[in-house]
């Protein structure tokens, strides 16, 4: 009986030492001001980009993640001027409370502005 109790307690302790968490971030209509006079085309729908970092005992092992860098990378990859229908999230994955992978992601539709029928470069 002691072995079973010890096994159950050990198993529960190991489960408590690993885990993950997601925290939804802000929601925005766009990352760039858009007026009723602006004309744009959706270049790509559901663009997602993220930036992450590994932490050891709370100390980052690299540059800390940034929503700004994820946004710039999403715009660069899609040759877009901005994103519309934007959401963001922070994700944390823990292992034995020693390591943590923190990831910040941004999701939206990539757009390109037009003036007089031509795309702005």
For residue 81, the Cα-to-chain-centroid distance in whole angstroms is 19
> What digits encode the pLDDT tens for the residues 40-66?
889 898 888 888 888 888 788 888 888
End-to-end CA distance of the chain: 73
* Predicted local confidence at residue 111, as pLDDT: 92
Domain boundaries of the chain, sorted by first residue: 20-119
pLDDT of 109 reads: 92
Percent of the chain with pLDDT over 90: 7
CATH class for the domain made up of 20-119: alpha beta
Phi, psi at residue 19, to the nearest 5°? 175, 180
């Amino acid at each position: 009986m002691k072995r079973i109790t010890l096994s159950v307690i050990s198993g529960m302790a190991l489960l408590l030492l690993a885990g993950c968490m997601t925290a939804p971030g802000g929601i925005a209509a766009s990352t760039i001001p858009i007026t009723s006079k602006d004309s744009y085309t959706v270049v790509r729908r559901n663009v997602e980009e993220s930036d992450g970092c590994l932490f050891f005992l709370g100390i980052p092992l690299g540059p800390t993640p940034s929503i700004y860098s994820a946004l710039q990378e999403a715009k660069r990859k899609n040759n877009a001027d901005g994103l519309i229908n934007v959401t963001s999230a922070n994700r944390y994955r823990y292992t034995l409370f020693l390591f943590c992978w923190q990831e910040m992601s941004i999701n939206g539709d990539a757009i390109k502005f037009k003036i007089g029928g031509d795309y702005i470069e």
